A and B are shown apart, each in its own frame.
Chain A
Amino acid sequence: MAKKLVVSSSPHIKSPENIRSIMVDVLVALFPVALMAVFLFGYRALVTMIIAMVAAMVTEAIILRKGDFFGDGSAAVTGLLLAMTLPPAPPWWVVVIGSVVAIAIGKQIYGGIGNNIFNPALVGRAVLVVSWGGHVAGNVWLKPVPFGLAADAVTKASPLASYDASLVDLFIGTVSGSLGETSAIALIIGAIWLFYRGHIDWRIPGGFIGAVFILGLISGGFLMGLYHVLAGGVLLGALFMATDMVTSPVTKTGKIIFGVGCGVVTMLIRLYGSLPEGVTFGILLMNGLTPLIDNFTLPKKFGEVKKSA
């Protein structure tokens, strides 16, 4: 025998899936959302998304001193998710600051992928909302115009400020809002891909959306419940942000608690807070509780009988 045999510990076969393939799946899932954003808000939405992604990837490459620009793909995902939460056309430097903060402060400062406590894209957004609110919130929403060819400068209030959008418009996305949050149908199509690929399960989105719907229903009836689910960032947050693997619980019960918590905090802010939208801070708050939730929801081992009280 000429060649040496490799000796290693079992198992000797591994699933082909890796972090990069998961991140590519997330990018694929965000594609219909991005496409809809460009359709509704025009080329400037595309520019915003590209700036955010490139800035995120460059920041990560500089911090990690690596030549591989795309890397495991997580920076591109963070950049794109951040862009999804921004108005269609904020000043370019606002987008860049958001991405740099998301990667540097939101992620790498904790030790990089897997170690961050808070969703990096939402950390970036939170800093922008607090520091440059005039550019990313308030009355800067563009009126959506399919194909984006006309009426460039028309702005319109968020449906969460005015409460006047129709449910059909909310479902299709022909309302003003962040570039990735308006179209329920595009978000749902993307999420189906993630379900199919096994990257998210029903527990977090189910808890989140369920809590928002029930609290909305209590506050104003069935249609108001539906309105709260479809308007603003609930679907984007529940399907793509709260389901971020790193910053959400791993236990099955924990995922439900986490999702419900996100929904409850979101609605408390919407109904009683000083901001029209509460998704960002709802998720960030629950991110901080994730390790605790995991520890309180350790699963019952196979064959273990519940201890009688």
Chain B
Amino acid sequence: MSVRSFVGGIHPSYYKEFTAGMSITPARPPSQVIIPLHQNIGAPCEAVVQVGDEVKVGQKIGEPKGFVSAPIFASVSGKVTKIEPYNHPLGNPVTAIFIENDGLDTPFEGMQPGKPLEELTSDEIKQIAKDAGLVGLGGATFPTHVKLAPPPDIAIDTVIINAAECEPFLTADHALMLERADDIVYGLKAFMKALGATKGIIGIEDNKPDAIANMQKAVEKSRGEYDIEIHTLHTKYPQGAEKMLIKATTGREVPPGALPMAVNVVNQNTGTAVAMAEAIKLGKPLYERVITVTGPGIRKPGNLLVKNGTLVKDIIKQCGGMKDNARKLILGGPMMGLAQPTDDVPVIKGTSGVLILTEEFVQEYPISACIKCGKCVEVCPMNLLPNFIASASEKQRMDLAEKYGAMDCFECGSCTYTCPAKRPLVQWIRIAKGEIAASRRK
């Protein structure tokens, strides 16, 4: 089968060996979870429990305040001890619900298996996704039910499961494909049925041959019933970026500023597909997920099933702790993840990895002038001129930054990775994007 790809991109060291092939192990139950009330792109949630309430696993504790939002659920059973702002992976403190774990894992009565997929209608599937609080688990955390409800004039013909996992170090999706292949296919079928799509595609990078083989087997089972294909993708970052994945699998190019639905496609993440399957089969809402705990700075790396709101320090502790030369804590992957100032921060729906880097990864480099080597231009998957945008931003010429395509940058970081002058290109582009967006709002 031919290997598909896009133009541009980089080949960093992948460092998957820390956790590749490791089976998913449930994390030790934390004594307390701190669940932030804002865990998705869009509106935050409002607490629907009060201090002193007893809650059960899977019980709704946060009610969304808008359409583009998703409810939040208790991940342990126990008593609500506090509702107040706490550290959040995205930076600013966010109101969070503190639950003391009683250790009993009493399930919420509302979690009951519903009708099987064959008997569900499109609208029922959308409702299940909404009620289960599903969001994109790749990290962007866009509410799933919104993606499943395109405007009536747009017909979606293809659903793509993003199983590229192009971020170095991360192996959570890989582990899911080895252990939960049937659920991924089940989730994909549900998405297809909800959208009325005729074609399903699962895109996997060719550095995961075991996952490709396993998914192929799972897909075979529903042959004839659903048109689902496995697409082998060239291992290259950012192969899993939405637009690149669509280009690689369908040949369609999403126009600048548009969403995948503009080319009749919806993307969903591997983890989201599993969560969709669990929501239908078990009535289980999204309160736990697989997180890759990895990096040269952690003693015992692994793929862990972690409850929402677990503090990162608790996860690190049960993974043997940080090594002495650990210097950086990142939630997510090394290309787009966010460095954290403290390990006293809860994991949320969008946390795909806990990555600990060591001293040799955090060297500071002197920034040279741009030597116009054009390597950033070669690697930019959006075909922009990162060097020109960044230099314009550095000089406060936001008009030029916009002309060179600043607003089309999705911040994959390939340019900064590549730059031999060690210029923080994507960082300057982010500044430009912020300022341009602010001036447009005026």
Check: A113 CB closer than 8 A to any chain B CB.
Answer: yes
Task: Identify B334's interface contact among A1, A13, A15, CB under 8 A.
Answer: A13
**Interface assignment of B226: CB less than 8 Å from any CB of chain A:** no
Say yes or no: is A65 at the interface (Cβ < 8 Å to chain B): no
Question: Does A11 have its Cβ within 8 Å of any Cβ on chain B?
Answer: yes
A17 touches B420 (CB 8 A): yes
Contacts of A300 in B (CB 8 A): 383
Q: B159 near A: Cβ within 8 Å?
A: no
Give Cα A115 to B370, complex, Å: 8
Instruction: Scan residues 108-157 of chain A and give those whose CB is less than 8 A from a CB of chain B.
Output: 111-115
Residues of chain B with a CB closer than 8 A to A6's CB? 327-328, 339, 362
The interface residues of chain B lying within 8 Å CB-to-CB of A162 are none
A211-260 with Cβ < 8 A to chain B: 245-252, 255
Q: Do B413 and A303 have beta carbons less than 8 Å apart?
A: no
The answer to the question of A307 belonging to the interface, with a C-beta cut-off of 8 Å to chain B, is no
How many chain A residues have a CB neighbour from B under 8 Å?
44
Of A18-26, A34-42, A94-102, the one contacting chain B is A18-26
A12 adjacent to B369 (CB under 8 Å): no
Is B420 a contact partner of A18 (Cβ separation < 8 A)? yes
Main secondary structure of the interface of A (DSSP, over half): loop
Measured CA separation A34–B243 after assembly (Å): 47
Number of residues on chain B facing chain A (CB within 8 A): 67
Partner of B382, one of A113, A250, A302: A302
Q: For residue A250, which residues in chain B have a CB less than 8 angstroms away from its CB?
A: 372-374, 377, 385, 387-388
For A301, give its contact among B334, B384, B421 (CB under 8 Å): B384
Contact with A along B176-190 (1 / 0, CB 8 A): 000000000000000
Q: In the complex, which residues of chain A have a beta carbon less than 8 angstroms from the beta carbon of B374?
A: 245, 249-251, 255
Total A-B contacts with CB atoms under 8 angstroms apart: 157
A255 CA to B313 CA in the complex, in Å?
51
Establish whether residues B369 and A18, one from each chain, have CB atoms under 8 Å apart when the complex forms: no
Contacts of A9 in B (CB 8 A): 339, 424, 426-427, 430
Rounded to whole Å, the gap between the CB of A178 and the closest CB of chain B is 26
Q: Does B168 contact A (CB under 8 A)?
A: yes
When the two chains form their complex, are residues B343 and A1 in contact, meaning their CB atoms are under 8 A apart? yes
- Per-residue 0/1 for B364-389: is the Cβ within 8 Å of any A Cβ (1 yes, 0 no)? 01001111111101000111110110
Question: Using an 8 Å CB-CB cutoff, how does the interface string of B320-351 with A read, 1 for contact, 0 for none?
Answer: 00100011111010111111111100000000
**Contact segment of B19-27, B35-43, B249-257, B300-308:** B249-257
Within the complex, the shortest CB–CB distance from A6 to chain B, in Å, comes to 5
Q: Restricting to B149-208, which residues have a CB under 8 Å from any CB of A? A: 168
A114-B370, A300-B383, A302-B408 as given contacts; A15 in contact with B420, CB under 8 Å? yes
Q: Does A308 contact B (CB under 8 A)?
A: no
B328 to chain A, nearest CB (A): 5
Q: Please judge, given known A-B contacts A5-B328, A114-B372, A199-B373, whether A15 and B339 are in contact too, CB under 8 Å.
A: no
Complex CA gap A199/B10 in Å reads: 15
> Can you offer 15 A-B residue contacts whose CB atoms are under 8 A?
A1-B322, A5-B328, A7-B341, A8-B328, A13-B334, A13-B361, A14-B419, A17-B420, A18-B422, A22-B420, A250-B374, A301-B383, A301-B405, A303-B256, A304-B256
- Starting from the known contacts A9-B430, A246-B371, 8 additional A-B residue pairs (CB-CB under 8 Å) come to A1-B322, A8-B339, A10-B337, A10-B339, A15-B12, A18-B420, A294-B388, A304-B256
Q: Which residues of A contact B (CB under 8 A)?
A: 1, 3, 5-15, 17-19, 21-22, 72, 111-115, 198-199, 245-252, 255, 294, 298-305
Binding site for A on B (CB under 8 A): 10, 12-13, 168, 243, 247, 253-256, 258, 313, 322, 326-330, 332, 334-343, 355, 357, 361-362, 365, 368-375, 377, 381-385, 387-388, 403-405, 408, 411, 413, 416-422, 424, 426-427, 430
* 10 closest Cβ pairs, A-B complex: A114-B369, A11-B413, A250-B374, A245-B373, A303-B253, A12-B334, A302-B382, A303-B255, A7-B339, A13-B334
